[in-house]
Amino acid sequence: MRFKDKIALVTGGSRGIGKAIAQRLISEGAVVWIGDINEEMLQATSKEIGTKPVLMNVTDEAQVKEAVDKILSEDGKIDLLVNNAGITKDKLLMRMKKEDWDAVINVNLTGAFLVTKAVIPHMIRKRQGAIVNIASVIGEMGNAGQANYAASKGGLIAFTKAVAKEVAGRNVRVNAVAPGFILTPMTEALPEKVKEEYFKLIPMKRFAKPEEVASVVVFLLSEDASYITGEVIRVNGGLYT
Ligand code: NAP
Closest residue by Cα to atom 7, ligand 1, is: 12
Among the listed residues 21, 125, 118, 129, the one whose alpha carbon sits nearest the alpha carbon of residue 62: 118
pLDDT confidence of residue 110: 99
Residue to probe by mutation, ligand 1, list 9, 10, 17, most atoms within 8 Å of CB: 17
Q: In whole angstroms, give the CA distance from residue 119 to residue 72.
A: 10
> What is the structure's pLDDT at 191?
86
Q: Which residues in 97-129 are b (16+ Cβ under 10 Å) and which e? A: eeebbebbbbbbbbbbbbbbebbbebbbeeebb
pLDDT of residue 42: 98
For the whole model, what pTM was predicted? Answer: 0.98
Residue 239: per-residue pLDDT: 97
Q: What is the pLDDT of residue 20?
A: 98
Residue 69 pLDDT? 98
Catalytic residues, which ones?
149
**Which one-letter DSSP state was computed for residue 208?**
B
pLDDT for residue 185: 79
CATH of 7-235, picked from 3.30.200.100, 3.40.50.1470, 3.40.50.720, 3.40.50.2300, is 3.40.50.720
Closest ligand 1 atom to residue 138 Cα is: 43
pLDDT truncated to tens, each residue of the chain (241 aa)?
Answer: 899 999 999 999 999 999 999 999 999 999 999 999 999 999 999 999 999 999 999 999 999 999 999 999 999 999 999 999 999 999 999 999 999 999 999 999 999 999 999 999 999 999 999 999 999 999 999 999 999 999 999 999 999 999 999 999 999 999 999 999 999 877 888 888 888 888 899 999 999 999 999 999 999 999 999 999 999 999 999 999 9
* Spatial contact of 26 and 49, defined as CB atoms under 8 Å apart: yes
Q: Which residues line ligand 1 (CB under 6 A)?
A: 11-12, 14-18, 36-38, 56-59, 84-87, 107, 111, 134, 136, 179, 181-182, 184-187
Query: H helices then E strands: how many in the chain?
Result: 10, 7
- Per-domain boundaries in the chain: 7-235
Task: Quote the ligand 1 centre to 75 CA distance (angstroms).
Answer: 25
Distance CA 199, CA 149 (A): 20
